[in-house]
Amino acid sequence: MFLIIIPVLPVFTESEIDSKTSMKLAISSLPEAKLTFSQDFKVPFMQGEGMLVSGNNIKFGLDAEITPISMGLLGRAVFTPIAFLEFSAGGMIGSGWNIELFGSEVRGIGINVSDTGKTSVDGSAFDGAFLGSWFGGAFQFDTGAVFPGDWNHVLIRTSHELSCRMYSRAGADDPWFFESDHGENQNGWNYLGTYILGYQLPLFLNTVAFQAEMFKYLYDTPESGQWGGAKGRWDFGLIMNFSFTERFSTMLVTQFRLYRNYENFEYGIKDKDNPDYNRYYRERILDDGRTLKFYRVAAIMNYKLR
């Protein structure tokens, strides 16, 4: 990303570059928290005189992220060749550590191993690196562009992304944790599809939207059909964005997840005396159907520093 940004920015004058420095804090009910400092640049690129191409631009961004169990650096670029289309790419490097919280282990990074049938983590602080890269595209449309008016903004957006994610300590078939997920990751390719239907208002509550996301592992693992490794994961959410000032806004997201059903196992079991508590995922037996359950409520607070 630096090889892209450094040569390109000097081509434009200072007045042509839109620079923004911001801070974002995301917290949720899981619990989880992430603090991000971002530096963004937007420059005009391949602009024309028509309505569809007059705003063409390319955006570059650099992020520094930290959570209670991980930290990372991220670079990204988004190219808008026409008003309703975007192409994006980026990369990330990070690492983590594992902690005890309220008597439970919170796994920042490490290999997911079976300890007498129970999920356990093999890893210590900064003993390996998380590496990720992605590219994708998005289609977006705002009815306000066709029917001008403060109350005429129905928003439609769908994005599709391919990513390659790796943990440096993991072998070809080793599953691993990162940032307290379910530990079913493997080195290889993944797909993320996002669908958003929203409405923009000229009010304090300036956006309300419904979002659906589908995440799918694209690598093949022996016997993965037993635990459903090839099945996509669906999340559904309601998004509400509140604009307090020109610099400060907060987004509230309520999400539900379609969980895979297993024989004698259920995600979210908290009873440690239950024999199925924390069962290693490769020893579960997939059952028919799925169950829609509450996943989390998240608040994402954005503040523009300059």
Q: What is the mean pLDDT of residues 19-24?
A: 95
On whether the CB atoms of residues 93 and 75 are closer than 8 A, the answer is no
CA-derived radius of gyration, the chain? 21
Q: What is the pLDDT of residue 50?
A: 75
- Is 160 exposed, middle or buried (CB count within 10 Å of its CB: 0-12, 13-18, 19+)? middle
The model's pTM = 0.88
pLDDT digits (tens, 9 = 90+) for 247-271: 999 999 999 999 888 887 776 655 5
Place of tokens 């990303």: 1
Q: What is the mean pLDDT of residues 142-156?
A: 92
pLDDT digits (tens, 9 = 90+) for 215-224: 999 887 766 7
Please give the share of the chain, as a percent, with pLDDT higher than 90.
62
Per-residue pLDDT at 272 exceeds 70: no
- The domain ranges of the chain are 2-304
- 2-304, what's its fold? Porin (2.40.160)
- Is 102 exposed, middle or buried (CB count within 10 Å of its CB: 0-12, 13-18, 19+)? exposed
C-alpha span between 35 and 71 (Å, rounded): 9
SS (H, E, C) 30-61: CCEEEEEEEEEEEEECCCCCCCCCCCCEEEEE
101 vs 27, residue with greater confidence: 27
Per-residue pLDDT at 5 exceeds 70: no
C-alpha span between 59 and 89 (Å, rounded): 11
Q: What is the pLDDT of residue 2?
A: 46
Instruction: Report the range out of 183-187, 195-199, 223-227, 282-286 with the highest average pLDDT.
Output: 195-199
On whether the CB atoms of residues 233 and 216 are closer than 8 A, the answer is yes
Q: What is the pLDDT of residue 268?
A: 60
pLDDT digits (tens, 9 = 90+) for 110-143: 999 998 888 889 988 999 999 999 999 999 999 9
Q: What is the mean pLDDT of residues 47-64?
A: 86
Q: Judging by DSSP bridges, how do beta strands 188-200 and 109-115 pair with one another?
A: unpaired
Per-residue pLDDT at 191 exceeds 90: yes
Q: What is the mean pLDDT of residues 181-208?
A: 94
